[in-house]
Amino acid sequence: MAVVDSLEALRAHYRAPGERSRRKVVDRLDDHCRTYIAHAPFLVIGTSAADGGPGDVSPRGDRPGFVHVVDDRTILIPDRPGNNRLDTLTNILENPEVAVIFMIPGFDETLRLNGRAGLTDDPELLERLAMGGKPALMAIRVRVREAYIHCNRALRRAGLWDEESKPDRGILPGGGRMVHEMAGLDGDPEEADRTYREGTRTLY
């Protein structure tokens, strides 16, 4: 298999970026960014460990506006109950560099942020991020260094929001069974799926 191992070899396959692509990155949250975040119910945050270990991407979702914009360069992302592995939070303790992509259902453009993150358990801030009557367990504070709108081609190619693009749910078993079988755990996979469904009913 051919290997591309230099910028020159890589660039040979692509046109030079246009002026709009070169200049679209800003260093703060403008009105468009703020509006996008206020309407976004979903994001994915990327982190990595300090030792160069495997990178991690993790979804975060809630009602639109669940991410709080503190100022033009700072956002707060609430952390809520999950699997308690704490992969994202542990990575941030080791390496504060993060990348975040926001999505709004029906929108093919996404909002991307790059910056440095830290964790806070300040009770007042966690209460401000409360949902379902419960404060956030932790908050990820991101100091934004770069912000930009990502072009719509990827989501358009995927037909991500198109009803006809959705496969039948039956192509895969339930999440509990998949985890049970992938991990090679003992016991009844159907029972594992049942307890998984019960456990994930509690959102807050």
* Chain centroid offset of residue 135 CA: 20
62-73 pLDDT tens trace: 999 999 999 999
Q: DSSP states of 53-73 as a string?
A: --EEEEEEE-STT-SEEEETT
Query: In 10 A of CB 58, how many CB atoms?
Result: 16
- Calculate the alpha carbon distances from 197 to 169, 174, 177 in Å: 15, 8, 10
CATH 3.40.50.2300 fits 23-155, yes or no: no
pLDDT level of residue 52 (50, 70, 90 thresholds) = confident
pLDDT level of residue 53 (50, 70, 90 thresholds) = confident
pLDDT level of residue 14 (50, 70, 90 thresholds) = very high
Residue 16 has pLDDT above 90, yes or no: yes
Query: In 10 A of CB 180, how many CB atoms?
Result: 22
171-202 pLDDT tens trace: 999 999 999 999 999 999 999 899 999 988 88
Residue 54 has pLDDT above 90, yes or no: no
CATH 2.30.110.10 domain extents, the chain: 23-155
Residue 51 has pLDDT above 90, yes or no: no
pLDDT at 199: 87
Residues 6+ apart with CB under 8 A from 101: 43, 44, 46, 110, 111, 112, 113, 150
- Mean pLDDT across 110-138: 97
Cβ burial of 88 (10 Å; 0-12, 13-18, 19+) is buried
71-95 pLDDT tens trace: 999 999 999 999 999 999 999 999 9
pLDDT level of residue 162 (50, 70, 90 thresholds) = very high
pLDDT at 106: 97
Record the pTM. Answer: 0.93
